[in-house]
Amino acid sequence: MEAASASRQNENVSIEKIETLLKAKDDTSRFVGLALLKSVLDNSQELRSNEDAVVKLWESIPSKFLDRLIRTGSRKEPKEPKSSPKKESHDMLDLAVYVLHTLCALLPEEKRKSGRLVDRIPQLVSCLLNCPEQTTQPVLETLVSLVSQPEGARALVSIEDVTPLTEIASSQPLALEVLLHAWLNSASAVDRAGLRSTIDKNVGNLVASFKGTDAVTLLDFLAKLLPSLDPEVLPPNPSWIPSLGKFIFNLVISRPTSASRAAFTNLSAALLEAYPLQAPQLLFANETNRDEKPYSYLLVNLMLVDLRSSLPLLLEQLNSPQYPQTARRLSSAFNVISNYIGYLLRSMDAASPSFALSPDHLLKLRRSLSETMSVAVEFLRDRYDASIAGALGLHPDARTADLTSLTWDSKDSTTTVHSDPLILAAIQALAIWLREDDNEMLRKEAAGLCDMFLDLYQHQHPSQTEGRLDFRRPVLVALEGITAENKGVEALLDNNGWKVLSDDLVSILPTADESAASHGIEIVRILLPVVEAETPGPREEWMDLVTKVAAWYYVPPTSGEVGILEEFQVAVLQLVTALVAGTHQGVRRRYVHSVSAVLGVAAQVRERVANAKGGGGVDRELLEGVEDVVGTLGGLR
Mean pLDDT for the stretch of residues 283-297? 75
pLDDT at 5: 47
Residue 47 · residue 40 · CB < 8 Å: yes
Alpha-helix runs per DSSP H in 119-240: 121-126, 133-147, 150-157, 163-168, 173-186, 192-209, 216-228
pLDDT over 90 percentage in the chain: 63
**Whole-angstrom Cα distance, residue 166 to residue 179?**
9
Top-confidence residue, 569 or 349: 569
Q: Is the pLDDT of residue 125 over 90?
A: yes
Compute the chain's Rg from CA coordinates: 33
Question: Per 3-state DSSP, what percentage of the chain is helix, strand, and coil (rounded to 5)?
Answer: 75, 0, 25
pLDDT at 401: 43
**Range ranked top by mean pLDDT from 78-82, 231-235, 353-357:** 231-235
Taking Cα atoms as reference points, which of 93, 80, 158, 85 lies closest to residue 119? 158
Top-confidence residue, 120 or 319: 120
Q: Note the Cα 137 to chain centre separation in Å.
A: 30
- Look up residue 50 and give its amino acid: N
Q: Note the Cα 581 to chain centre separation in Å.
A: 46
Q: Tens digits of per-residue pLDDT, 98-121? A: 999 999 989 988 888 888 999 999
**Average pLDDT taken over every residue of the chain:** 87
**Range ranked top by mean pLDDT from 286-290, 316-320, 441-445, 508-512:** 441-445
Taking Cα atoms as reference points, which of 328, 258, 255, 249 lies closest to residue 284? 249
Q: Is the pLDDT of residue 408 over 50?
A: yes
Say if residue 536 is preceded by a cis peptide, omega within 30 of 0: yes
CATH topology for the 496-637 domain: Transcription Elongation Factor S-II; Chain A (1.20.930)
pLDDT at 404: 42
467 Rama class: left (phi>0) / alpha (psi -120 to 50) / beta:
left
pLDDT-derived band at 290 (thresholds 50, 70, 90) equals low
Residue 274 · residue 234 · CB < 8 Å: yes
Residues 6+ apart with CB under 8 A from 185: 147, 148, 149, 150, 152, 153
Cα 536-537-542 angle, rounded to 5 deg: 145
Q: Is the pLDDT of residue 399 over 90?
A: no
**Whole-angstrom Cα distance, residue 291 to residue 135?**
51
Cα 521-525-530 angle, rounded to 5 deg: 140
pLDDT at 388: 78
Residue 239 · residue 199 · CB < 8 Å: no
Top-confidence residue, 351 or 90: 90
pLDDT at 13: 52
> What is the maximal distance between C-alpha atoms in the chain?
107
* Residue 483 dihedral angles phi and psi, to the nearest 5°: -75, 0
pLDDT-derived band at 435 (thresholds 50, 70, 90) equals very high
**Whole-angstrom Cα distance, residue 428 to residue 439?**
17
Q: Tens digits of per-residue pLDDT, 39-97? A: 888 888 888 888 888 899 999 999 999 999 998 877 765 555 544 555 566 788 999 99
Residue 116 · residue 63 · CB < 8 Å: yes
